[in-house]
Structure 1
Amino acid sequence: MRPTVLIVCAAISGILLFLLATASANTPLFARNYTLLIGLNGIIALVLAGLVFVQLRSLWLEYKARRFGSRLKLRLMAIFAAMAVVPGALVYAVSLQFAVKSIESWFNVRVDAALESGLQLGRATLDILLDQLATKADQMAIELELAPQVRSPLLNRLREQANVESATVFSPTGKIVATAETELGTLIPEQPTTAQLRQGRQTSGYRAAEGHGAEGLVLRVIVPIPSRRLIEPQLLQVTQQVPRSFAMHADSVETVHRDYQELSVARNGLKRIYTLTLTLTLLLALFAAVAVAFVLTRRLAAPLFILAEGTQAVAAGDFSPRQALPARDELGVLTQSFNQMTRQLQDARAQAEANRAAVERNRAYLESVLANLSAGVLAFSPDGHLRAANHGAMTILNDELQDYERLRVHDWNTHAAFRDALVAGFEGTEDDWNRQIEFSNPDGSTQTLLLHGTRLPESTGGGFVVVFDDITQLIAAQRNAAWAEVARRLAHEIKNPLTPIQLSAERLQFKLADRLDEEGRSMLERSTTTIVNQVEAMKNLVNAFRDYARLPTPVMAPVDLNALVRDVLALYDGSRVMIHAELAAETPPVMGDASQLRQVIHNLLQNAEDALSDSDSPEIWLLTRSDARRVDLILRDNGQGFPPEILSRAFEPYVTTKARGTGLGLAIVKKIIDEHDGEIRLANRETGGAEIRIRLRSAPQTESPAHG
């Protein structure tokens, strides 16, 4: 049970007791808040009863479940509850009887009769005084009837004779005719109301005691003045001040009588509220006893619980220390000794866990390194089953290698060249071996792999580790560099003698043309023309060599690819090939060298025209597509496509299917695209024809594009 609940309940109980005391001392306040106080007392009593019930039910469930310590808790709580209930019930009975008897003693029949008699006595005295004042008023009215005219001196004389404080004569309409006052400073007497005047015209007249005891009582009498004429009579008002002491005593008696009646009416309510308050006090004491019993039980049984939990934890393999108690008794010392023992066991286990964690970290680190290697790594068991493969291996082989661990490497159905190289290395006698293999993929591309295998020591379980890398691009780069060097040297060596050969042929024709006959002159012209044409062809070949070997570094700038394609297509308006342009709208500019990209488009269109030379209805499609980061330039035709043996080597120099081609066109295109940090792919369309897809990176949006 939380101490907060006890504090809240105690605060609410204190507030209710304070309200009860205030209400008992102030009857009107009690009368207004009687229902509220009853409701609040009932609610707090129910809350306390509910809390006690919850605690008892919890303890009973623990007892039924035979939880360790539940019997001790039940026994201690029963003792504390008995110690609280017996004295509490006795005090409750005595206090309840005392409160009820005290309340009854407040209300005595003689006190009630005395107050009632005092109140009647005051009322009778006022009635006698009113009768005397009415008699005086009647006598004054008779004498005023005999007077020929009512004057203030006459009225004042009659007032003095009657010994009254004031006398006033009113007309039938309520206007003052004459007045006489004891106090000369009063000019206008207090006028009666219309209802009082109406009652005064009656035979009995008007009589009443007005005012309050603290402010003073005034006796007022209004009687009609008899008249012999048949007109409405005038009215005479006579007032007399009641002695102040008498008025105060009468008011005090009336106030006490009223308060006594209110208190009498609230007598049963006071009994109920006192009864509920005492009941609340008893429940609070019982609840506190139960709470203290739970607290003390937990403290006394805590060492036993710690030992019980520690024993179960050690049996389950948990050697962590339990919570130690600062107690100096035997139970506290026992728990401390037990914790010392488990702490030693925990230290031993922690050391073992630290060693295991270090091994796991090293293994995870090794796995992370292998996973991020671009090279492929495969681990095999001694009998040739695949045990592990990193992501690089799957990427190079373009295979997820699923279910390969169930097969020996000898039984692989795919990657035949790779499999044969592994089998040959595993069956060899060398612990370390190297292989370089080249094979063709299903898409027609050629791939070259460099393998290095190692036999693992028998102390670690044996097996093999194979590390391999894809060196296709490296070999292609080496081949391109070699071809570039060859092209540079050939261009240098061949270009020098070409011009003298051409000039010599032209000089021979010029010198010998006039000295030969017609037949000889015709042969000379044909021969010199052949030499000049072949020299020109050699020059073109040398220029192609030079362009491939000395391609200038591109000057990168934003280029409007669509505009560049339109400019190039304008040069092919007279071509026999139908060229369709499908340029995507709002294509972003690309980063590139406009002149080199123009050369790329020219080369692709010329190659496509040459490939469609034998087609009856040649067509070329030039398309642009874009996404958030890249722009694609796609060229398609309806020709025969690339031969399978050429598709994988199309970008190599001097690889061509054209009889008069140099084989440098696609090689130059590939070199330009590589220097633009782009991609180029060749493929054959399923519907026939070839497709070349070039992907270039988009330019930043802040730069303005150019196209030529």
Structure 2
Amino acid sequence: MADPSLKIRRRRLDLLATGALVVLLLAALHMMSGAVQRSEALDRWFIPLLAFTVVGLVVLVGAVGWNLWQLLGEYRRQAAGARLNLRLVLLFVILALAPVTVVYIYSLQFLSKGIDGWFDVQVDSAMEDALSLSRVSLDLHKREMLRLSRNLLASLDDVSPAAIKQVVGQLREAAGAFEVDIFNRDGKLLALSHLNPDVLTPSPPTASMLKQVKAGKDFISLVPVKNGQMVVRTMVVDPKGRPLTLQAIYPVPDELSQLTGRVQRAYEAYRERAYLRGSIKFSFALTLSLVMLLGLFAAAWGAFYTSRMLVRPIKQIAEATRAVAAGQYDVRVPMPRVKDELAFLVDSFNQMTRRLAQARNVAEASRRELAAQHKYLETVLGAISSGVIALDEQGLIRTANPATETILRLPVSELEGRYLYQLAGLDSALEPFVTQIREALASGHSEGKVEISLQREGGRQVLLCQYSRLQLSEGEPDGHVLVFDDVTELVQAQRDAAWGEVARRLAHEIKNPLTPIQLAAERLRRKYLPQMSPDQADVLERATKTIVQQVEALKAMVNEFSDYARPGRLEPRPLVIDDFVTEVLDLYAGGDSGVYFKPGAPGLRVDGDPLRLRQVLHNLIKNAQEAGGDRPAEVWVSTVPVHSRGQDWVELRVEDDGSGFDPDTMDQVFEPYVTSKRKGTGLGLAIVKRIVSEHGGRVVAENRPEGGARIRVLLPLGEKPSRPRQAPRPQTGGKEA
């Protein structure tokens, strides 16, 4: 944006330049009007003055055209104030053009008639009569001077040639002449008398005078002298035939001389103007036209300048209004120098923008505070592990935190903007969630808790949801907020703890009588076997043997109970997972074991207890081999690295080609005493789950698409787990523990 002070200086410079140009043009037109009245000045100055005036008018027209082009450009761009500016310019030009045009037309008519009036027939006759009258007066005076000269020559009849010199002075004084000269017939000077005694030589007669005198004729002439005066010069011969010639020079009276000169000059000027009549008309008309154009274009330029000066505050207010509408409340309109209504309007506008800026600042501060509170709330909601959903009164989900996506397994972007009942359409497993929440909200209670069980592909998911009604500051209801947690692991842990307590008590209660029972059976066998007949001995042998075998089986079951109930006491150390699995599987290398290993994590280490992890692997392989029923199942063991949620894991897979897991009990495979085999306690996978959890991992059970079962054990890499960590969820359907 240009500097406002620079704009002001530029406008002042334009105004001064244009004003100076108009003044110079007016001066040139004034000089032209004076030159038109004088022919010599007209010939000398008219063309240069005309050229200067035309050039000045062209410059002025260019300035007006430039202003008009700028104004039309602003009008086409719909700039602020352009339409009002254009209307004011047109109004000012029309107001100036109408009277100037009328004055110009009538002035041309008056000028033409006035110039024609100068050259009226009567004026022409009067000028000629005055000239004739002046000439007649001069002729009379000349004849009178000729008669006087003849009388002077006649008075010398009785004067001897020697006495002429004495009387010529008296004659000159008596006649009032400037000079009297007496010549003989040969032109020799006989006597001389001059008004100035210092003049000793006569005024020499001209050749025409001498020629006329030799012809016997008298000469008379009107001769101009210096200082604009005129004299009458005569030269007469003696009518009596004497060889004498008299030359006399008489003054013309000043009044007659001046009057004659004025008449002569006036007549000459009149004839000159009459000759230049058409040129004078054209020059005056041209001068008048130039004056009219100068006034018109000066008025047009003044209209541009005045309209811009008047519209400038309004234009600035319009531009500032657009800026305010665009949100720029700090804009200010410069105050006009003249304190009028426009200045009051500008001041009122600036006060309004200041108040708007203050209100904007207050609103911005409130907005920043709300944004900070919202950001803080988002940070808190994003950091907590509980899912949070805000509903309006119609059940529309307004907001949901990231934990909601993890618990409900639906993206937040698909949740927000949907109604609660629509979640069941996105995931049929959420039907109980939707139903129980809607029933709880419809109960009318302002708050409450509800436990919801969802049937997922990987098993049962238990949610504990707390709902509460939101209240506006005026006390009107504004929807509900739902806070829910996935308590599946908590419930499972509680169940595991309960089963562990049951196992511990069962092991304690069962293990105590087993040893006495086994010892009693063996004592009976040793005491009574030798005393019995062969048939009775055989019965006793088989009975005692059965008792001992069953006691051993009960002891094995009790040991499993003890293993399940025993709290984890890990002694972890770094293990290269592929080497560790290879070492364990070496026990199955003999014969046709049907166990195959595919290492896929070379060099990867886990921090684990080798005894406990060995137990995990033995239990998984044993279960996989027994999954074939009457035939030994083939078992495939593999390892693969996994990266999820910024953490590196190793996945240990144990697969078989047996009958797989029963879909109806898929969500219970890791619970104690759940088994599909005819033999077994159902504690193998439960113990596996307990050991894997103690290592901060997760175990997943699923069926293979091609048949058989798959167990996936996820263990963290490279560090000793100080607490159980969140392992990545399975990518396919399966029971997760």
Q: Which bin holds the TM-score, normalised by the shorter protein?
A: 0.5 to 0.7
Alpha carbons of structure 1 residues 411 and 495: separation in structure 2 relative to 1, 3 Å: closer
The offset of 1:336, in angstroms, is: 6.1
1:494 and 2:504 matched: no
8 Å contact 1:582–1:622 — kept in the other structure? yes
> Match of 1:578?
594
1:606 and 2:606 matched: no
TM-score by length of 2: 0.51
Name the CA distance, whole Å, in 2 between partners of 1:387 and 1:2: 49
> Match of 1:561?
577
The offset of 1:574, in angstroms, is: 3.9
Partner letter of residue 659 of structure 1? Answer: R
The offset of 1:609, in angstroms, is: 0.9
The offset of 1:670, in angstroms, is: 0.9
Name the CA distance, whole Å, in 1 between partners of 2:434 and 2:537: 70
> Match of 2:684?
665
Unaligned stretches of 5+ residues in structure 1: 7-52, 76-296, 702-708
Equivalence map 1:244-643=2 (5 Å): 306-313=316-323, 316=325, 320-323=329-332, 330=339, 338-400=349-411, 402=414, 409=421, 412-413=424-425, 414=428, 415-441=430-456, 443-457=457-471, 459-574=475-590, 577-584=593-600, 586-615=602-631, 618-627=633-642, 629-643=648-662
Name the CA distance, whole Å, in 1 between partners of 2:606 and 2:418: 49
Q: Deviations over 1:431-466 (max 9, x none)?
A: 32322232322x251111212223444844543333
Between stretches 572-581 and 493-502, larger displacement belongs to 572-581
TM-score by length of 1: 0.53
8 Å contact 1:384–1:410 — kept in the other structure? no
The offset of 1:605, in angstroms, is: 0.6
Q: Deviations over 1:320-368 (max 9, x none)?
A: 2434769987499866665344313322343244334434443444344
8 Å contact 1:319–1:343 — kept in the other structure? no
Name the CA distance, whole Å, in 2 between partners of 1:312 and 1:611: 81
1:64 and 2:80 matched: no
Alpha carbons of structure 1 residues 477 and 336: separation in structure 2 relative to 1, 3 Å: same
Partner letter of residue 320 of structure 1? Answer: Y
Q: SS in structure 1 opposite 2:674? A: coil
> Aligned-pair RMSD on alpha carbons?
4.1
The offset of 1:369, in angstroms, is: 3.4
The offset of 1:618, in angstroms, is: 2.9
Alpha carbons of structure 1 residues 463 and 344: separation in structure 2 relative to 1, 3 Å: closer
8 Å contact 1:587–1:631 — kept in the other structure? no
8 Å contact 2:697–2:715 — kept in the other structure? yes
1:644 and 2:663 matched: yes
Q: SS in structure 2 opposite 1:687? A: coil
Alpha carbons of structure 1 residues 298 and 624: separation in structure 2 relative to 1, 3 Å: farther
The offset of 1:422, in angstroms, is: 1.9
Q: Deviations over 1:596-648 (max 9, x none)?
A: 21111111111111112324x73111111125622221111111101112221
The offset of 1:411, in angstroms, is: 9.3
The offset of 1:587, in angstroms, is: 4.0
8 Å contact 2:400–2:416 — kept in the other structure? no
8 Å contact 1:319–1:342 — kept in the other structure? no
Q: SS in structure 2 opposite 1:448? A: strand
Alpha carbons of structure 1 residues 349 and 643: separation in structure 2 relative to 1, 3 Å: same
Q: SS in structure 2 opposite 1:648? A: helix
Partner letter of residue 410 of structure 2? Answer: D
Unaligned stretches of 5+ residues in structure 2: 7-61, 90-306, 721-737
8 Å contact 1:559–1:592 — kept in the other structure? yes
Name the CA distance, whole Å, in 2 between partners of 1:609 and 1:590: 26
Match among 691, 695, 702 for residue 676 of structure 1: 695
Q: SS in structure 2 opposite 1:469? A: strand
Name the CA distance, whole Å, in 2 between partners of 1:472 and 1:344: 58
The offset of 1:511, in angstroms, is: 1.6
The offset of 1:424, in angstroms, is: 2.1
Partner letter of residue 670 of structure 2? Answer: F
8 Å contact 2:390–2:481 — kept in the other structure? yes
Equivalence map 1:110-125=2 (5 Å): none
Partner letter of residue 634 of structure 2? Answer: E
Partner letter of residue 329 of structure 2? Answer: S
Name the CA distance, whole Å, in 2 between partners of 1:68 and 1:502: 111
Alpha carbons of structure 1 residues 368 and 329: separation in structure 2 relative to 1, 3 Å: same
8 Å contact 2:399–2:416 — kept in the other structure? no
8 Å contact 1:587–1:626 — kept in the other structure? no
The offset of 1:508, in angstroms, is: 1.6
Equivalence map 1:208-247=2 (5 Å): none
The offset of 1:57, in angstroms, is: 7.7
